[in-house]
Structure 1
Amino acid sequence: GIIINDSIVLVTTIDEYAKDRGVIPSIIDGVADRLRPVMLTTLTTVLGLAPLLFERSQQAQFLKPTVITLVYGLGFGMVLVLLLVPSLIAIQHDLKRRTGALRRALSVPVASVRLAVVGALAAIVAWLAVTMGVTLVTGALPPVFTQALPMLAGPSPMVAALGLYLAGAMLIVLLVLIGAGLTYLVKQRQPAGQP
C-alpha cells in the first residue's frame, strides 16, 4: 500500500506540473518535490520494523520472514518509485510523440510521402524478419550474411543480428530521408503552376 500510494502521489504531482510546463521538467520537479515524503514514509516503516528484524527471541523468529519481506520490499519499492516510475512516464511521452509523428506522416495529403512512409515501415519490418527473426528461430545468422561479412560469424549470433538490423534500419531511414529531400528540391525548382 505504501509503494502504491507513493506512486500515485508522484504521478499526480507530475501531472499537475505538466499542465504548466513540459513533461520532462515536470518529471524532474515532481521527483524532487516528492523525494522527501517518499523517503520519510519508507524510512519510518523500515526503522520501525528494524528492532523486530534484529530481535533473537523465539516469538520474533516467527515474524522474521514477514519483517524481512516488508523491509527489503519497501526499500526496493522506494527505488522503483523514484527511478522507474519517472522513467516509464518519460518513455510513454516519447512513444506518444513518435506515434503522433507517424500519424501526421500518414495523413499528409501528398500520396508520394504516404507511400514512402509505408514503404519504409514495410522495409524495416521485413529487414527485422530477415535478420532478427531468422536468427531467433534458427539460432544462427543466415549464411548469406556470414559469407558476405565473415566478422559477423562470432560466438553471439543474436548480437550480430541486432547490429545488422540496426545498421540496415538506419540505412533505410537515411535513404527515405534523402529521397524526400530530393523530391522536395525538385518540387521547389518547378515553376509555379506546373504539377
Structure 2
Amino acid sequence: MPLSMFTVVGLLGMTGIIINDSIVLVTTIDEYASERGVIPSIIDGAADRLRPVMLTTLTTVLGLAPLLFERSQQAQFLKPTVITLVYGLGFGMVLVLLLVPSLIAIQHDISRRTGALRRALAVRVSSVRMTVAGALTAVVAWLVATMGVTWATGQVPHPFTQALPMLAGPSPVMAALGLYLAGALLIVLAVLTGAGLAYLLRRRQPAGQP
C-alpha cells in the first residue's frame, strides 16, 4: 500500500492511542512503585492495565473492521487509514503490554548498577586522591631537602654526606640530583607497595566487616 495522506492520518491516530496507553501504564507503575518494589509494581501495573488496553484496542479494531471489507468507492479513500489503525493498534498493544514494562525493568536495573558503580568509584577515587597527594607531598619535601638545600648552600647536606661519603664529590648538584631521584623512586615504590597491600587486605576482609 503506497504512503498517502490517509495513511499518515492513520499513523498519527495510531501513535496517539499507543502513547496514551503507554502513559497510563507508566503512571500506574509509578503509583504502585511508591508503595512496593519496582519489579512487583511492573507486574501488577501490567496486569491491571491489561484489560483497559485490550478493550481500547479491540473496540477500535472491531469498529473499523467492516471498512476493510467494504468495496464501495467511498470506502477506498478510507482504507489506508483503516488498515494503518487496525494493524498498527494490534501490534502496538503488544508493544505497550510487553515492551514498555521490559524497558522500565531494564532502566531500573541499569540505574541500580550505575548507582553502585558511582558509589564504588567515589570511594576509590577519594582513596586514590589521598594516596597521590601524600606521595606528591613526600616527593616535594624530599626535593627541598636535597636539591633545595644544595642549591642554597652549594653543597650536599651534611647528614647525607656523612651517611654516604661518595656524595661529597666535586659536583654537589649532580650528587644531590642523583640522591633526589633515588629517594623519589623509593617513595613511589613504597606508596605503590602500600596501596597494593591495602587492596589485598581489603579484598580478603569479610563482607560483613567495615
TM-score range, shorter chain: 0.5 to 0.7
2:201 aligned residue: 183
> Which one of the candidate residues 108, 111, 127 is aligned to 2:128?
111
1:56 aligned residue: 71
2:53 aligned residue: 38
Cα-to-partner distance string for 1:96-117 (whole Å, 9 max, x where unaligned): 00110111001115439xx9xx
Indicate yes or no: 2:98 matched with 1:68. Answer: no
Q: Provide structure 1 residue ranges, at least 5 long, that are not aligned to the other structure.
A: 116-178, 189-195
1:12 aligned residue: 27
Task: Return the structure number with greater relative CO, CA threshold 8 A, min gap 6.
Answer: 2
Cα-to-partner distance string for 1:131-187 (whole Å, 9 max, x where unaligned): xxxxxxxxxxxxxxxxxxxxxxxxxxxxxxxxxxxxxxxxxxxxxxxx998432566
AA aligned to 2:93 is M
Could you tell me how far apart the structure 2 residues matched to 1:6 and 1:49 are?
A: 19
Could you tell me how far apart the structure 1 residues matched to 2:93 and 2:204 are?
A: 57
Could you tell me how far apart the structure 2 residues matched to 1:186 and 1:59 are?
A: 79
User: Offset of 1:22 from its aligned partner?
Assistant: 0.7
User: Offset of 1:62 from its aligned partner?
Assistant: 1.7
AA aligned to 1:94 is D
Could you tell me how far apart the structure 2 residues matched to 1:84 and 1:6 are?
A: 12
AA aligned to 1:12 is T
Indicate yes or no: 2:97 matched with 1:79. Answer: no
TM-score using structure 1 length: 0.58
AA aligned to 2:128 is A
Cα-to-partner distance string for 1:35-70 (whole Å, 9 max, x where unaligned): 000000010000000001111112112211111001
Q: Provide structure 2 residue ranges, at least 5 long, that are not aligned to the other structure.
A: 1-15, 133-196
Give RMSD over aligned pairs.
2.6
SS at structure 2 position matched to 1:107: helix
Greater CA radius of gyration, 1 or 2?
2
AA aligned to 2:67 is L
Q: 1:18 to 1:187 in 2, by over 3 A?
A: closer
Cα-to-partner distance string for 1:57-92 (whole Å, 9 max, x where unaligned): 121122111110010111111111101111110111
SS at structure 1 position matched to 2:36: coil
2:174 aligned residue: none
Give the length in aligned residue pairs: 124
Q: 1:106 to 1:52 in 2, by over 3 A?
A: same
> Which one of the candidate residues 114, 124, 128 is aligned to 1:99?
114
TM-score using structure 2 length: 0.54
